[in-house]
Amino acid sequence: MTTMTEASVREFKMPDVGEGLTEAEILKWYVQPGDTVTDGQVVCEVETAKAAVELPIPYDGVVRELHFDEGTTVDVGTAIIAVAVGDGEAAAAPQQEVPAAAVPAPAAAPEPRQAEQSAGSGRQPVLVGYGVAASSTKRRPRKGPQVAVPSASAALQSELNGHAPAPAAAPAPAPAAAAAPTGELSRPLAKPPVRKLAKDLGVDLATVVPTGPDGIITRDDVHAAAAPQAPAEQPAPQAPAAPAPVAAAPAQQAAPAAVSFDAARETRIPVKGVRKATAAAMVGSAFTAPHVTEFVTVDVTRTMKLVEELKQDKEFAGRRVNPLLLIAKAFLVAIKRNPDVNASWDEAAQEIVRKHYVNLGIAAATPRGLIVPNIKEAHAQTLPQLADSLSELVSTAREGKTSPAAMQNGTVTITNVGVFGVDTGTPILNPGESAILAVGAIKLQPWVHKGKVKPRHVTTLALSFDHRLVDGELGSKVLADIAAVLEQPKRLMTWA
């Protein structure tokens, strides 16, 4: 009866998008326990490190339980919602097995669920915009005891904590429970990124107390174990001894001290999702690629006149025409004249990879943080096509619907700091790209034009580039060409 009940409840896991992402934050649930769901229905919205996306459920049934609240960050591969399917859904609800389901249920159910997936429609849950990808997060079935659920839970927790199972849980079954999982569960449950973090911090996973679902060790668990550096090197059997609690006490006391600041005048904001990914990417870029930034101040009066003329052109009716459009085109022309700037650095192969295409990134500020979607094959687009691409990119970013694919494989980027009234800046390269152009505010300034001082529209451009790929001469040529096009827009025809 228990087997039939477990088989009738399917756990929908946080999908593995196959893009190197290991976690996602649940932004909003669209269903609640008791709601009926159908195949393909969106049940929640999550935010990965790259974008906010919606998750569709891949089968019909009735929602039995939501495992996590909104605002919770969940590792990929972790069950987030339980759905009762088939004839057993009515009987599944009243069963008082929720506490046991946290650890033992996945131990008994992997084989039936895997059989259903292999014999069923072959469909897998995926994030919207990612496409179907084979899951890389399947964990081997845990060969724990299948009869006594409470003792199995105790044995599993004991194994995960690195201790011998407590015989007091059940006098007779306890030794058998200890014998069965010893060989199989001697390796603590943790995902590869968590294992790498533990290795980098010198933490023995066998000594870490897991707090994740199904006894999985999380990043926070590793950081907590790494706080007292001395006990992290001690053997597992000494963990419950006096030295471990004594060393752990200062770490636990440090946490309240950090929160004891004036809460009325300070706000602590968790760094996660897009902001967390951006922070990590910028640190990695700043300390990996040797940055060089050059500046040029240019008279863009003729460009501003051309913008006004294009707005009246029937080819641009209904299209957004602004200075950024012509700046983007000027950048593309400069890259065409200096193709060596459009490249990337392959550290493993020690090679420079020149790109024969331009995926033009546009830095966009959103409520969730800075993102850099890019226009694919921008070099091949006409000016009206480029206008459409820019308009779609910006509107999608503002709605928070930019797909991760739209932020992949960029080659160069433009960041328009001028919209904030800023004159210029020293932008940091988007990881893996060769150059980034910062555009300052366009202002009327006194300027010498044809021998006389006149008010002209002037802006300052800043080009940062990877000095491994781009030397000073090449970087200067690219920046000078951009400035020349904006000063004399007719070069869009003569140089293009």
Catalytic (active-site) positions: 467
Token pair, residue 277, equals 């990914």
Phi, psi (5° rounding) for residue 229?
-65, -35
Owner of token pair 């081997």: 140
CB 68 within 8 A of CB 26: yes
The Cβ of residue 140 has, within 10 Å, a number of other Cβ atoms equal to 8
- The separation between the first and the last C-alpha atoms of the chain, rounded to the nearest angstrom, is 74
The whole-angstrom separation of Cα 260 and Cα 253 is 11
Q: How many alpha carbons lie under 13 Å from residue 218 in its C-beta half-sphere?
A: 15
If phi over 0 gives left and psi between -120 and 50 gives alpha, with beta otherwise, what is residue 122? left
Radius of gyration of the chain (CA): 29
The whole-angstrom separation of Cα 324 and Cα 20 is 32
- With a CB cutoff of 8 Å and minimum separation 6, the contacts of 109 are 6, 7, 11
- With a CB cutoff of 8 Å and minimum separation 6, the contacts of 375 are 359, 360, 361, 362, 381, 386, 389, 390, 393
If phi over 0 gives left and psi between -120 and 50 gives alpha, with beta otherwise, what is residue 400? left
